[in-house]
């Protein structure tokens, strides 16, 4: 990766001050913001460039390695919203939907299915770790001053599994936040069904009143 790429995105030099970086960011964000007709991908790049270069620690890491961690750039809520946006876009582009499709329900179900898969994988790995921990010491080295080769391999395997579980748990947490965020939105389909229920109730009332009137007239 070109170490100057983030600087080039904001069109500032590598020696730019924080004020210069902020000024350039505001100008470009104003131009490329999607709400103002700007390009979404370009706007995201501007956001990333600013979040890296405006943070002294992240900027130092970027200057030295040319890399950064996306997970550290955005809050959990921002990442959850990003997941919702990407999932929604996938559904409206690829899924067979129409005016009767309950998009809110579809999105929540997709998130819950994904969460279930992640939880299953986490549980399987945690069960494996428990089993591996019980293996420690089963094949000890006769030389008590040397660690058993098999214990060493087992510990390394446990570490690898733990390194997989940690981000998986974080991803699961983000998905649960996304589900909570999604529940804040009204479903047009739910509103439609509510209107149908009200309409049905009105029809029953009218029918009852009509019957009452007819009966009264007959009497």
Whether the CB-CB separation of 7 and 17 falls below 8 Å is answered with no
CA geometry: angle at 93 spanning 87 and 95, to 5°?
80
Sign of the dihedral through C-alpha 100, 105, 109, 115: positive
What is the pLDDT at residue 85?
87
**Comparing C-alpha atoms, which of 186, 198, 191, 125 is closest to residue 159?**
125
- What are the residue boundaries of the structural domains of the chain, listed by start? 1-73, 75-194
- Say what the pLDDT of residue 163 is: 94
Sign of CA dihedral 206, 212, 214, 217: negative
pLDDT of residue 4: 55
pLDDT at residue 216 in the model: 43
The reported pLDDT for the residue numbered 137 is: 92
pLDDT value for 1? 43
Tell me, which fold does domain 1-73 have in CATH?
Answer: Helix Hairpins (1.10.287)
Interacting residues of 176 by C-beta distance below 8 A, sequence separation 6+? 115
pLDDT at 97: 86
Residues of the chain with pLDDT under 50: 1, 3, 190-219
* pTM over the 0.75 mark: no
What pLDDT is recorded for position 44? 85
């Amino acid at each position: 990766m070109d170490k100057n790429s983030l600087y080039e995105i904001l069109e500032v030099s590598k020696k730019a001050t924080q004020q210069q970086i902020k000024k350039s960011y505001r100008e470009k964000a104003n131009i490329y913001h999607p709400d103002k007709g700007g390009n979404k991908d370009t706007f995201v790049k501007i956001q990333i460039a600013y979040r890296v270069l405006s943070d002294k620690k992240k900027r130092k890491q970027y200057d030295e390695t040319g890399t950064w961690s996306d997970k550290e750039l955005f809050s959990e809520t921002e990442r959850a919203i990003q997941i919702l946006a990407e999932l929604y876009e996938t559904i409206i582009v690829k899924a067979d939907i129409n005016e009767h499709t309950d998009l809110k329900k579809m999105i929540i179900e997709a998130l819950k299915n994904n969460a279930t898969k992640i939880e299953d994988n986490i549980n399987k790995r945690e069960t494996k770790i428990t089993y591996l921990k019980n293996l420690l010491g089963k094949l000890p080295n006769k030389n008590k001053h040397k660690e058993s080769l098999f214990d060493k391999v087992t510990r390394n395997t446990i570490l690898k599994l733990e390194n997989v579980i940690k981000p998986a748990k974080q991803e699961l947490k983000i998905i649960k936040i996304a589900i909570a965020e999604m529940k804040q939105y009204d479903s047009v389909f739910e509103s439609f069904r509510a209107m149908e229920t009200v309409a049905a109730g009105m029809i029953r009332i009218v029918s009852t009143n009509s019957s009452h009137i007819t009966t009264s007239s007959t009497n």
